[in-house]
């Protein structure tokens, strides 16, 4: 079954404590992307990756890092989380960057 998985699904943490949200896909897609969703703002792209070892900034990259060492995985790293990073995060994949995207179930992050 084609899947995009994210872990953890829910996380409550404190300011400054480094965390990683994992994303994994089994569709052999080259394109992967991270979004955050905040009320009234829709989805905003954080980072994206066109292929292994190729990553680029989206619209709101400040405070985030990513890596793409393998095709299937695209972790999102918050080195020093702050309360304004409290949000719902989605990983998405696509065979081509501007075609249909497949979304993970989301990670709800709260930074206290």
The residues of the shown chain that bind another protein, judged by CB under 8 A, are 4, 33, 35, 40-45, 48, 50, 58-59, 88, 90, 92, 97-106, 108
**Quick check: bond before 8 cis, omega within 30?**
yes
- What is the nearest approach in angstroms of another protein to the Cβ of residue 100? 5
Q: Residue 106: enclosing H or E segment and its boundaries?
A: none
Closest CB to another protein among residues 10, 69: 10
Partners of 6 in the beta sheet? Answer: 23
What count of residues does the chain have? 112
Closest CB to another protein among residues 4, 111: 4
Closest CB to another protein among residues 60, 78: 60
- What is the nearest approach in angstroms of another protein to the Cβ of residue 94? 8
91's tokens:
């990983």
14's tokens:
């404190």
CA dist 65 and 46 (Å) reads 9
- What is the nearest approach in angstroms of another protein to the Cβ of residue 16? 27
């Amino acid at each position: 079954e084609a899947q995009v998985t994210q872990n953890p699904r829910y996380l409550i943490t404190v300011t400054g404590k480094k965390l990683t949200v994992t994303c994994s896909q089994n569709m052999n897609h080259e394109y992967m992307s991270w979004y955050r969703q905040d009320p009234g703002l829709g989805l905003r792209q954080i980072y994206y990756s066109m292929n292994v070892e190729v990553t680029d900034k989206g619209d709101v990259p400040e405070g985030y890092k990513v890596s793409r060492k393998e095709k299937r995985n695209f972790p999102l790293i918050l080195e020093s989380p702050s309360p304004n990073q409290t949000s719902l995060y989605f990983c998405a994949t696509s065979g081509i960057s501007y075609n249909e995207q497949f979304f993970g179930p989301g990670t709800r992050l709260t930074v206290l």
